[in-house]
Amino acid sequence: MKFLIRRLGQEANFHKADLRDAFIGGADLYGVDVSGTDLTGATIKWTNLQTANLEKAILEGVNFEGVNLQGAILRGANLKNTNFWYADLKGADFHGANLESASINCADLQGANLSEASLKNTNFLQTDLQQTNFQSANLSGANLQDANLKNCNLQAANLQGANLRETKFEESIFKNVTIDKNNIFRLPIKILEKYQNTFLVV
């Protein structure tokens, strides 16, 4: 099912709609309700989705390049293989979402909630993740090269096999983190001194 959506008012409601392979470009969808909607394979570029409700939506393979999802709700959503290049995701709620193998490169996730999210093999290259909540998230195999994770909560997160080259972790919480022994030396000295005895080293 294909749709072309360019301009809609903020009262638009697509709750549980079938929007597979839709094209949404440059639309203003502030606060729209697309919870439970199937958007598999859709293209949603440079669109305003601030505070939108995408809870438990099926968003596998969606191209979200350049979208504004500030404060949006994506709890429990299926976001496998999605593209979030250059997206504004500040304060978005991804609690329990599946973002495996997603590309979130050069995006802004400051203050976002990724607690208990599945982030296996997800790419965060050069992404701003300051003050993001990763508590109990699975970041195994994730690419965090040159990402900014200052002041983050990584308590009980799984970093096994993650790429931590040039990653910034200053002032972050690392209690009970699972991490490879080869990656420990990439952490700041202050974090090692404070949390090393709580690490699960693999």
pLDDT tens profile 167-191: 999 999 999 999 999 899 899 999 9
- Exposed e or buried b per residue across 161-176, where buried means at least 16 C-beta atoms within 10 angstroms of its C-beta: bbbbeebbbeebbbee
Q: Check residue 53 and give its pLDDT.
A: 95
End-to-end CA distance of the chain: 46
Domain-embedded: residue 125: yes
pLDDT score of 7 more than 50: no
Question: Band of the pLDDT at 4, cuts 50, 70, 90?
Answer: very low
Range of the domain at 130: 89-202
Q: Check residue 10 and give its pLDDT.
A: 47
- pTM of the prediction? 0.91
158 versus 22: the higher-pLDDT residue is: 158
199 Rama class: left (phi>0) / alpha (psi -120 to 50) / beta? beta
Q: Check residue 60 and give its pLDDT.
A: 98
Q: Among 104, 172, 107, 177, which residue's Cα sits nearest to residue 136?
A: 177
CATH number of domain containing 152: 2.160.20.80
Question: Band of the pLDDT at 18, cuts 50, 70, 90?
Answer: confident
Q: What is the pLDDT of residues 114-173, one digit of tens each?
A: 999 999 999 999 999 999 999 999 999 999 999 999 999 999 999 999 999 999 999 999
Are 118 and 138 in contact by the 8 Å Cβ rule? The answer is yes
Q: Is 193 helix (H, G, I), strand (E, B) or coil?
A: helix
Number of domains in the chain: 1
pLDDT score of 3 more than 60: no
CA distances from 158 to 51, 175, 180 (A): 29, 11, 10
Domain-embedded: residue 63: no
Question: Band of the pLDDT at 15, cuts 50, 70, 90?
Answer: low
pLDDT score of 11 more than 70: no
Q: Check residue 17 and give its pLDDT.
A: 73
Q: What is the pLDDT of residues 43-94, one digit of tens each?
A: 999 999 999 999 999 999 999 999 999 999 999 999 999 999 999 999 999 9
Secondary element (H or E) of residue 195 = helix 189-195
Domain-embedded: residue 152: yes
Q: Cα separation of 76 and 56, whole Å?
A: 5
Domain-embedded: residue 66: no
Q: Cα separation of 184 and 49, whole Å?
A: 38
19 Rama class: left (phi>0) / alpha (psi -120 to 50) / beta? alpha
Domain-embedded: residue 183: yes
Domain-embedded: residue 2: no
Q: Cα separation of 138 and 116, whole Å?
A: 7
Phi first, then psi: what are they for 59, rounded to 5°? -125, 25
Q: Check residue 6 and give its pLDDT.
A: 45
